[in-house]
């Protein structure tokens, strides 16, 4: 039987350097909502777990700063009592989240313990991990669902020796009313996203985002947050929506062009060319749109987190691509 430890444990996170972590990560509106706000984070935790913690200082925030690990970055990570909580916001259905969370939690554990010390004969206690995804995409998903690492295994004939579950909470407007009533920031964020989508049916996204911000301010929905962070929220929202709007169309265009050219050199090579060209066109389209809205190349790099050299490469590649007749 697992021993219950009532005493409060403290975990010291040491900085571990990985050579492949070298990209700057830009905040999203969701992360901006809770970043550096332990009180709001505690309110969110209590709302999810039906708990009643009252001391924000009981939280130990350990979100990895300014880094993308293995191509992903979690939005919020913190410890309370003996529980390690990893929260992420997603606007797409992503059944690969268990594997991503496994990568991420492994890195967090590596920050707690020196690798050499785990060979000790004495048990090293670790915080129990819990994973939550807040979903607000346009695809219809239930209020609550679960991703399992075992669902990704090639074989399902035996009980897995390694399992990891991720709880997915739908935070679109009208979903999970109990959660919304218990956490003002989640409720306000849900309304903000819904208003952007509503206004975007008649207005370009450049106008829909400010209109949604104005609506929230005028209706006292997270008013202080939207007033104080208006510029950052606008930039992050425009980038997020611009990225999504170009992702499929530009990737598909580039994929088809590259695949057609690749017929002569083999289907597999053609697919690779299509994927690479689609990514370059996507990045170039985003950068061009931002420059047309007055952003310098340095600002585009700062907002997107992509190196100037990579942005320029994408712009040059599209510029030098012959136009098909």
In a structure prediction context, what are the per-residue pLDDT tens digits for the chain, which is 325 residues long?
Answer: 444 444 445 555 444 443 333 233 345 788 888 877 889 999 999 999 999 888 888 888 766 543 333 333 456 788 887 888 899 888 889 899 999 999 888 888 887 777 777 788 888 888 899 999 999 999 999 999 999 999 999 887 788 899 999 999 999 999 999 999 999 999 999 999 999 999 999 998 889 999 999 999 999 999 999 999 888 888 778 777 765 554 444 444 445 555 555 544 455 455 455 555 666 777 787 778 778 777 788 877 766 667 788 888 888 887 766 555 4
List residues bridging with 134 in a β-sheet: 89, 169
Q: What's the pLDDT at 149?
A: 96
Count of helix runs (H) and strand runs (E) in the chain = 11, 6
Residue 69: inside a domain? yes
Domain that holds residue 85: 1-153+160-176
Question: By CB neighbour count within 10 A (0-12 exposed, 13-18 middle, 19+ buried), where does 134 fall?
Answer: buried
Bridge partners for 77 per DSSP: 86
Q: Where are the alpha helices (DSSP H) in 51-117?
A: 97-112
Which burial class, exposed, middle or buried, applies to 323 when counting CB atoms under 10 A from its CB (0-12, 13-18, 19+)? exposed
What are the tokens at 256? 């088809």
Q: Residues 6 or more apart from 96 whose CB is under 8 A from it?
A: 152
Q: Are residues 169 and 189 in the same domain?
A: no
**115 & 17 share domain:** yes
Query: Are 2 and 119 members of one domain?
Result: yes
CA–CA distance, 213 with 134 (Å, rounded to integer): 21
pLDDT at 260: 52
How many CB atoms sit inside 10 A of residue 12's CB? 8
Q: How many CA atoms lie within 13 A of 121 on its CB side?
A: 0
Sign, Cα dihedral of 38, 39, 40, 42: positive
Q: Considering the domain boundaries, does residue 92 fall inside one?
A: yes
Is position 297 within any domain? yes
Residue 64 sits in the same domain as residue 120: yes
Strand partners of residue 76: 87
2 in a domain, yes or no? yes
Q: Are residues 121 and 190 in the same domain?
A: no
Residue 324, domain member (yes or no): no
Among 311, 318, 321, 275, smallest CA distance to 290 is for 311
**Is residue 272 in some structural domain?**
yes
* Residues 126 and 191 grouped into a single domain: no
Q: Examine the domain organization and report whether 2 and 106 are in the same domain.
A: yes
Does any domain span residue 9? yes
Residues 128 and 217 in one domain: no
pLDDT in the model for residue 132:
95
Strand order across the 83-90 sheet: 59-61, 76-80, 83-90, 128-135, 165-170, 144-148
Do 192 and 125 lie in a common domain? no
DSSP-derived secondary structure letter, 144: E
Q: Is residue 325, in this structure, part of any structural domain at all?
A: no
- In eight-state DSSP terms, residue 19 is T
Our count of domains for the chain comes to 3
pTM (global) more than 0.85: no
129 and 261 housed in the same domain: no
pLDDT of res. 92? 86
Looking at residue 110, its pLDDT comes to: 82
Residues 282 and 141 occupy one common structural domain = no
Q: What is the dihedral of CA 55, 60, 65, 67, to 10 degrees?
A: -130
Are 312 and 220 in a shared domain?
Answer: no
- Going by C-alpha positions, the residue among 214, 25, 173, 221 that lies closest to residue 104 is 25
């Amino acid at each position: 039987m697992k021993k219950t430890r009532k005493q409060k444990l403290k975990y010291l996170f040491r900085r571990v350097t990985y050579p492949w972590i070298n990209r700057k990560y830009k905040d999203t509106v969701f992360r901006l909502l809770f970043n550096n706000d332990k009180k709001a984070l505690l309110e969110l935790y209590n709302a999810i777990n039906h708990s009643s913690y009252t001391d924000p200082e009981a939280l130990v925030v350990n979100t990895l700063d300014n880094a993308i690990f293995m191509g992903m970055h979690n939005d919020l990570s913190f410890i309370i009592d003996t529980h390690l909580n990893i929260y992420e916001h997603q606007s797409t259905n992503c059944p690969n989240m268990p594997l991503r969370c496994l990568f991420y939690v492994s890195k967090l554990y590596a920050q707690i313990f020196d690798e050499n010390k785990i060979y000790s004969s004495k048990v090293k206690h670790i915080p129990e991990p819990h994973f939550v995804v807040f979903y607000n995409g346009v695809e219809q998903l239930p209020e609550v669902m679960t991703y399992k690492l075992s669902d990704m295994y090639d074989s399902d004939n035996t009980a897995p020796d390694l399992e990891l579950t991720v709880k997915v909470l739908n935070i679109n407007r009208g979903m999970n009313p109990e959660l919304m009533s218990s956490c003002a920031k989640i409720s306000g964020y849900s309304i903000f996203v819904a208003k952007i989508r509503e206004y975007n049916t008649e207005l370009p996204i450049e106008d829909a985002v400010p209109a949604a911000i104005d609506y929230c301010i005028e209706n006292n929905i997270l008013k202080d947050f939207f007033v104080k962070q208006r510029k950052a929220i606008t930039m992050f929202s425009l980038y997020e929506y611009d990225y999504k709007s170009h992702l499929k169309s530009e990737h598909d265009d580039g994929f088809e062009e590259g695949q057609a050219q690749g017929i002569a050199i083999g289907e597999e090579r053609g697919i690779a060319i299509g994927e690479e060209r689609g990514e370059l066109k996507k990045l170039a389209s985003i950068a061009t749109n931002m420059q047309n809205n007055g952003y310098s190349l340095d600002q585009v790099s700062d907002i997107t987190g992509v190196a100037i050299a990579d942005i320029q490469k994408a712009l040059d590649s599209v510029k030098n691509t012959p136009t098909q007749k």
